[in-house]
Amino acid sequence: MKLLYRRCAGLDIHKKSVSACIRCRIKGEPEMQTEEAVFGTFSQELEGLGRWLKQHRIKHVAMESTGVYWIPVWNILERFAFELILVNPATVRALRGRKTDRIDARRIAEYLQYGLLQGSFVPPQPVRQWRDLTRMRTHVQQDRNRVINRIGRLLETVNIKLGSVASNIVGKSGRAILKAMAEGRTRPQQLADRAVGRLRQKLAELESALHGRPDEHFRWLLQQLLKRLESLEGELAELDRRLGEQMQPQEDLVRRLCTIPGVDVITAWILISELGTDMSQFSDAGHAASWAGLCPGNQESAGKRFSGRTRKGDRYLRRILVQNAWAAARTRNCFLSALFNRVARRRGMKKAAVAVAHRILIIAYHLIRDGGVYRERGGDAFDRLHPQRTAKRLVRRLERMGFGVTITPQPSTAVVPKCAVSKVKPRRVSTRVTPTTSCRKCAAWGIACIHVRYQKLQSSNPGSPGQSTV
């Protein structure tokens, strides 16, 4: 096996100690020389580790990703200008019965020396700081959602059905009603009168929903939950302000990412903080999608393809992109919504959401790398891609409904090359629908009979259920 580095080091990191191993190949000597040491994890001891590696003229250092304990080691060794490599623990797993800290460090150094390790993506320091803020915001938002769910469950315990009438129990109307309950007001008419906007159209239903059995214990719990909710909303506002200041240099990129359907400012911040602004760490857009866990898994043996479940990737990026995929699926006359409906017909809505999330990430990758803005292809992009195929599908659908269809395509005045089909406007197709024999029910509606085809099938198959045979 070819030797890639003559001098390198491997680190096995723990909470209180770091086991280090140096491997050196000296010219003229056949055997590899190794030197091992153990350091503490205090800042002074980690700086001593950096000086020890410098004394041995080490340039390449590999370490195993162990929880969050690798982060301070990385931050301190980064100042010494080492070429650091963060390794997935699954790639350097030890054999059973041969697992010690010294052996782990020795194995990591040996794999690095022969080029058998593939480093994980670690963004530069500013991007890591943005990532800390966006991930903290995600956790605070999840805590806020938990508090809202607790408020809903608390209301149900005293038979107050506010969630059955109001879609958002902590909206402007719901918040006013909840504060009045916490202050001790119990009359449903007074509580319902605090509703604003469209909810006032449901005053009678709202009064019925607010008939409950609240007591002092309920009011105390509701007060505590409302205080917690206001505190979390204050934290979210502070994080948004901080992120807005930190992302000020990337304002143009944020604006361009927001041109993608379903992507808002929060999603743009998360995309930048998770992917970074330099796409050179990904070989192509498919590599970025695989890193995020938004592509099918690849498991095949003996010519048989097994489960295609998506792999574990960046859960923060994956979560927000799937949420935006659901939002894009509800956008009218949009290419992403057309993609969602196209996949959902064959594979289901959940897989369609992942497919749209994958496409959003691909678009974001090109916008970050190449610049520019998103250009909408329209909701009929797939129809324009294969117009004849779309026409045949629609004809078959009408024929199943009992219509006779004749298609007369308009003559084309220009010869269109095959490579430019997607850039040409679709040809208009005129259809003439002729009703077939109609029964009395369908004749009353003035449409072709939708029962004739079923009756013909039954007459051609006398043994079908519902008919007697002689």
**Are residues 10 and 107 in contact, defined by beta-carbon separation less than 8 angstroms?**
yes
Task: Assign 25 to helix, strand or coil.
Answer: coil
In the CATH hierarchy, which fold is given to the domain comprising 7-113? Nucleotidyltransferase; domain 5 (3.30.420)
Adjacent-strand bridge partners of 33 = 24
206-211: Cβ within 8 A, 24+ apart: 206/165, 206/166, 208/161, 209/160, 209/161, 209/162, 209/164, 209/165, 210/160, 210/161, 210/162, 210/177, 211/159, 211/160
Distance separating alpha carbons of residues 189 and 48, to the nearest angstrom: 72
Phi, psi angle pair for 285, to nearest 5°: -65, -35
pLDDT tens string, the chain, 470 residues long: the values are: 788 899 999 999 999 999 999 999 887 677 888 999 999 999 999 999 999 999 999 999 999 998 899 999 999 999 999 999 999 888 888 767 678 889 999 999 999 999 899 888 999 999 999 999 999 999 999 999 999 999 999 999 999 999 999 999 999 999 999 999 999 988 999 999 999 988 999 999 999 999 989 999 999 999 999 999 999 999 999 999 999 999 999 999 999 999 999 999 999 999 999 999 999 989 999 999 999 999 888 878 888 888 778 888 899 999 999 999 999 999 988 999 999 999 999 989 999 999 999 999 999 999 999 988 999 999 888 888 888 888 888 889 898 888 888 888 776 544 444 444 444 444 444 444 444 455 666 665 555 565 655 455 455 554 444 443 32
Tokens of 397: 């659908």
What's the pLDDT score for residue 431? 45
End-to-end CA distance of the chain: 82
369-373: Cβ within 8 A, 24+ apart: 369/279, 371/256, 372/256, 373/256, 373/259
**Are residues 134 and 270 in contact, defined by beta-carbon separation less than 8 angstroms?**
yes
When computed from its CA atoms, the radius of gyration of the chain, rounded to whole angstroms, is 32
- Count of beta carbons in the 10 Å neighbourhood of residue 23: 23
- Count of beta carbons in the 10 Å neighbourhood of residue 142: 11
- Count of beta carbons in the 10 Å neighbourhood of residue 65: 18
Tokens of 159: 């038979």
pTM (two decimals): 0.80
